[in-house]
Structure formats: structure tokens, C-alpha cells
Amino acid sequence: MRDMQPSDVPFAELQAYVPVPEHSMVADRQMLVLTFTTPVAGHWERYMPLLVRVLRSLCFSEQEALVSADSIG
């Protein structure tokens, strides 16, 4: 078996960088990074609708931050 380098492995990757609003629960969080990787690039069209729904479902509201803070502490 030959040594494989990372570049020898085919894959598809999506990275979405989502800014976190200032009113979020943790002040030092400035960016949410969502990464999705698959070794089957041919299935990409099947995965994209799910990833789009996940990204569109993200919500950073002040009310949610307050409720989350109360449930933690």
C-alpha cells in the first residue's frame, strides 16, 4: 500500500461563516463556522437542501440569549 497524502483523497467541502450578533450570550463569540465535508462529491446535490435549511434556521435573538443564559446559570 502506498502512502496517501491528504490531497490524494477526493472530497467536497462547504464552509459557512456566520457572524454572531453583539447581543449574543457570550460576548467574545464573533463568528459561527459551519463545516460540512463529504467524500462522495457526486451526492452533493442531495446534501445541499439540508445544509441550506440548517443555515436558514439559524437565529440569534436577544430573547433566546436570555432564555439560554437563564437555563445555564
pLDDT tens across the length of the chain (73 residues):
567 666 677 788 999 998 887 765 656 668 889 999 988 888 888 989 999 999 999 887 766 545 544 554 4
pLDDT at 15: 93
Look at the pTM and tell me if it is higher than 0.95: no
pLDDT at 27: 60
Distance CA 19, CA 58 (A): 11
User: Is-contact 51 62, C-beta < 8 A?
Assistant: no
pLDDT at 73: 45
By residue count, the chain amounts to: 73
Q: Give the DSSP H or E segment for 25.
A: none
Q: Quickly tell me which residue has 445541499 as its cell.
A: 48
Alpha helix segments (H runs only) across 10-61: 44-57
pLDDT at 7: 66
